[in-house]
Structure formats: structure tokens, C-alpha cells
Structure 1
Amino acid sequence: MLKPRPLEPGDSIGIVAPAGPLWDEAYLLRGIERLQSWGFRVVLNRPLQAGEGYLAGSDEERLAELEAMFASPEIKALICLRGGYGSLRLLPHLHYALIRSHPKIFVGYSDITALHLAIVQEAGLVVFHGPMIYPELGGHLTSYTKTSLLSMLTGSPGSFTVRPLPGKALAVSPGRARGRLIGGNLSLLVSTLGTPFEIDTRGAILFWEEVDEPAYRVDRMLTQLRLAGKLSAAAGIAVGECIGCGDLEELLRDRLAPLGIPCLYGLPCGHGTDIATLPLGVYATLDADQGYLRIEEPPWAQA
């Protein structure tokens, strides 16, 4: 796997909007100010306050912006504006060879999962599942979220083991497994099935999270992944927070425990308040008995 270089003080971060638009400019302004306060320069290459309905511009505009940010020698990292919808539409047109030749930190989550999967599998580049301008960087950013993100941006060792927050851990099925960490938002993982960008879970630690989906829809998506052979192919399953999805314990035990692979639920990754930034594409160990996900290799290029 290709790995990006960590950031240094004064480096430029490009804000990209490959998915939905942002209607409240205050989030963008606060996000820019926050990144600047950490010692980084911030670059935009088009207005990001509005878009075309549920998209932050046409497919051509969003694609051109993303590729320009990867190609620019000035930009050292890309952070997404927000999720929403739209990333999936870009996958057939994205210039993966360009990304491969300009490896950079690429941060986002939710709808950005589609891009993460494609970039990991098609470009072979490690990416980062972490906070975006909306709602975190331009809104309420907890100390936990900030510390985890900065450690991943700057290459600071420390946040390599992620544990569920107090009272939220559930060992769905016991055991310990090692594999490449892949995944993201459950809805987006399922959306890749049957496409050229279908998620490859073979031997992987499969991570997923969800938001505002009732239990029966979570069941349906997990069942689809199971029928497609994606769950049984994984070495282990790491589940983040599922905000607004109700009590999933019985569902998870029913759908995941029979697989006979380690499964841990409750990691602070996803749409919650405290968010651990996860590097995707690197080797990780999942220990459901001890309750942790440990990143086993540096996600950055060595100097």
C-alpha cells in the first residue's frame, strides 16, 4: 500500500466537496479558522457554500476539484467538506493513476466511504476515516476527536489503539484477528455490491458504522453483505457507533455471531460525538475479548 506523508507546520490542506453541499457558510469559516489555528494553510479552489440540489456542484465540477487537489504540489492533505450523497457517482471517472502518483492524506467519512473504498482498492493508497468540516471541524469538536485527528495528520505516535467508550463495548463474538482494515458507512459498503468497485473483504478487518437507520434496515444491509459472502470472508468485524439506530445487540448477535469470527461493537468511529480517526488500508488487530482495535503499522510514508 502507498502511504501519504504526514503534515508539517505551514503545510496546506485542501477542502474538497465530492458529495453534498453545505448551506451554512459559518461551518466552513469556523472549520478554516480551526485548521489555521493548528498551524496549517487552507486552500479552496471553488465556492463551497451551495450546490446543485443535493450535490455540491455537477459531477464534472466535483471530480475536477478532487483531482486538482490531489495533483497540486501545494496541497499536502485533503479534508472533505461533508458527506450527504454524491461520491459514488464519481468512482467510474476518477483518475486513480493520478492519485497513485500523488499520495496524500485524504480524510472523510459517511458518504466519503465510496471514495475511500475505491481509492484503497484502485489506487492502493491508505486513506483516513475521520472528521470533516461539517459537522465536526466547523462545529463542536471534542478533545478526543481533535487529538485523534491531529495525531493522524501529523504522524504523532499515540492513538494507535482504539477502545469503545465507557459502557458501549459489546463483544458480539469472541476472538482475535489480524488483517487490513477496510470499511466505513454500512449503506455505502452495500452500495458497491455488483459494481466494479465492490468491496473486497477477504482476510480483512471489516469496519462499519451507521446513522439514522432503523434496525430492520441495518438487518437488511448486513444480510445482503452476508449473502454476498462479504462477512464470512472477513477475518474480523469492528463495528463503530450506530447513532439513531436503536438497540442493535440482538440483531448483531443474530447476524454476526454465527460467522464464528471476532466481532466487537461500540468503537468511537462514525457519526458520534467522539470520533477516532482510522487509517484504512493498513494492518490492524481486532481483539473482541480485550475490547480493542489496534493499528499495527504506521499509516504514513517514512521520511
Structure 2
Amino acid sequence: MAPTIRIGVVAPGTRIEPALAERVKAFAADHFLDRAPEIVFHPQCFLSAGHFAGDDETRQKAFVDYANDPALDAIWFARGGYGACRIAEAALAQLNEHARKKTYLGYSDGGVLLAGLYKLGFANVAHGPMPIDLTRADGEGAVKRALSWLIERAPESVELGVMFDAKTAAFNIMILHSVLGTPLEPDLSGHVLMLEEVGEYLYRIDRALFHITSSANVRRVKGIKLGRVSAVPENDKPFGATEEEIVRYWCKKAGIAYLGRADIGHDVENKVVPFGMLKR
């Protein structure tokens, strides 16, 4: 029998409730039985400091402590929200050789840290579901997908296009928009870049894609795929184009190939997208 893997959970941005941690651990035990991982939630996940799961120093220390811990095999971000960008550079500068051996999984605001880790050459970085997804209706499938990836690299957890694309990366549109031009920006040349969004007006998505597709780095991607864009607020006037038409428009202006849709988003169908080349 393979040794039990140990997954450390931290909240770089917004807090979660202690009850969710217990639900996730019980879910893992029920669904994976003798393959169930040990899931260790850092106490920082339950702290509250305004918008954040503890102040910047506390969140930074929790991430660094767990990432550098040789007894943990993976780091799983508890949820998105906001706050990762406030700690990312300082936290990444403190990581050691044990941190490099780990798998990192999350999405949304966690994409800031995923970007920085990937830039530093960390080999096992992936966009994918988080513990908070268990609070969604029918969210069990998303959490099972994430755990199956962390435990055994289950191919059914992965976004289908990853199987055919040489190199991939996935981000929330606003997160990539905020990372470009900073020290956290990874090299995306030759990648199929998958983008998704939630809760943003279409004009804001349009503006962000102007910035993203103007990047010389992004203009070297193999192409862009659009994931799901959900919970779009209703503006006082219609934008006049769909989210896909917006992406096509900016890809055409920038000379970037538009490669169709991707099976990612802020929802229970969100799939795992490993950064770089898929390791089979």
C-alpha cells in the first residue's frame, strides 16, 4: 500500500469556517477509504482580520511554514477571496528545498501564488478545486476531483485539452491582469492559456483582456481558451458582445490564436489544469 499523503491547507486570502475543515476531512475519509490523505488545516485558516484570514504577517508565515515542512506532501489553498498578492513576494522568497518538492493546488485569488511558484520553476503547480467548493451545491464532485489529483494524479481530474496540449496554464482573468508586469509574472510562451472569470461586468473583462493581450509575454502563448464566465452583473446598458466575442476580439487584435472553450470556472465542474507539461 502506498504511504498516506499529507496535505496542508492554508488560506492566503479569506478565511473559512472550522466546520468546513471537518466536512472536508470526513469527505476524504468516506470517499477514499484506505487511500484517504491526512488533511491538516492550519489554524490560520479560521482567523479573521477584516477581509482576511489573519493579518498579512500571519497568512505569510502560515504559507511558508507549511510549504517548507518536510512532513507535508502538498499545499492546498482553502479558498479564494482576496489577499494572496499582499503576501506573495515575501512568502516566496522564504521557500526552501522541501517547498520545491510539493504539489500546489488552488484557483481564483490563489492564482497569484501559483504564478509566482511557476515563475520560480516549481514543477507541480496546478489550477483546480479547493475545500471551499464543498459549500457549493453538488460540490462533492469538485473536491473529489481535487483530492484524486493530489493523491494519485487521476487523469479524469484534468481538463481534457491538457491531454493534447504541450504546455498549459490557467488563471482567473482579473488575477492574471493583476500579475502581469510584476515580479510574479511567469513565462507563458508556448502555453495554451486558459482563462475564466466570475462576478465581473463585461466591460471590466474587456478592459482586462486589453491589458492581458497587450503583454509581450502573453503574445507568445500558443493560444487562449476561454473557460466559464459566470455571475456577470447586469450593467445599466448592454455591453453589446458576449464574453466569447470579447476574447475573440482581443485575440484577433493581438495576433493570438483563439482555441475555443476550456472546462474551468468558478463552479463545481472546474477541472485541474497543471502548469507546464502534464507529468504522466
Q: TM-score range by the shorter chain?
A: 0.7 to 0.9
What are the Cα deviations for residues 192-241 of structure 1, in whole angstroms up to 9, with x where unaligned? 23322234322222121111111111100000122233442211112211
1:221 aligns with 2:221: no
- Higher share of residues assigned helix: 2
* 1:115 match: 113
Matching residue's letter, 2:273: L
How many angstroms apart in 1 are the aligned matches of 2:254 and 2:108? 26
Instruction: Give the aligned partner of residue 267 of structure 2.
Output: 272
Contact 1:117 1:183 in 2 (8 A): no
Paired residue type of 2:12: P
- Paired letter, 1:64: K
Q: 1:141 to 1:279 in 2, by over 3 A?
A: farther
Aligned to 1:28, what secondary structure does the other structure show? Answer: helix
Percent identical pairs in the alignment equals 27
Aligned residue number for residue 292 of structure 1? none
SS at match of 1:159: helix
Q: Residues 161 and 49 from structure 1, CA distance in 2 versus in 1: closer, same or farther, beyond 3 angstroms?
A: closer
Distance in 2 of aligned mates of 1:100 and 1:122: 12
SS in 2 for 1:106: strand
The letter of the residue matching 1:264 is: L
In the TM superposition, what whole-angstrom CA distance separates every residue of 1:275-296 from its partner, at most 9, and x where no partner exists?
A: 111111x22xxxxxxxxxxx4x
Corresponding residue SS for 1:114: helix
Superposed counterparts of 1:232-247, under 5 Å: 232-245=219-232, 247=242
Superimposed CA distance per residue, residues 249-299 of structure 1 (whole angstroms, 9 cap, x where no aligned partner): 32222122344443234322120221111111x22xxxxxxxxxxx4x33x
Normalised TM-score (structure 1): 0.77
CA separation in 2, counterparts of 1:83 and 1:270? 13
* Structure 1 residues 275-294: aligned runs within 5 Å: 275-280=270-275, 282-283=276-277
Task: Report the counterpart of residue 205 of structure 1 in structure 2.
Answer: 192
Q: Which runs of 5+ in 1 are unaligned?
A: 1-6, 165-176, 284-294, 299-303
- Once the two structures are superposed, the pairs formed by residues 2-151 of structure 1 within 5 Å of their partners are 8=2, 10-22=4-16, 24-37=17-30, 38=32, 39-96=36-93, 98-102=95-99, 103-134=101-132, 136-142=133-139, 144-146=141-143, 148-151=145-148
> CA 1:77–1:231 in 2, change beyond 3 Å: closer, same or farther?
closer
Q: Distance in 2 between matches of 1:153 and 1:255?
A: 35
Higher RCO by CA contacts (8 Å cutoff, separation 6 or greater): 1
Post-superposition offset of 1:92 = 2.0
Asked if the contact 1:28–1:138 (Cα under 8 Å) also holds between the matched residues in 2, the reply is no
Number of aligned residue pairs: 265
Q: Is the contact made by 2:198 and 2:229 (CA closer than 8 Å) also made in structure 1? A: yes
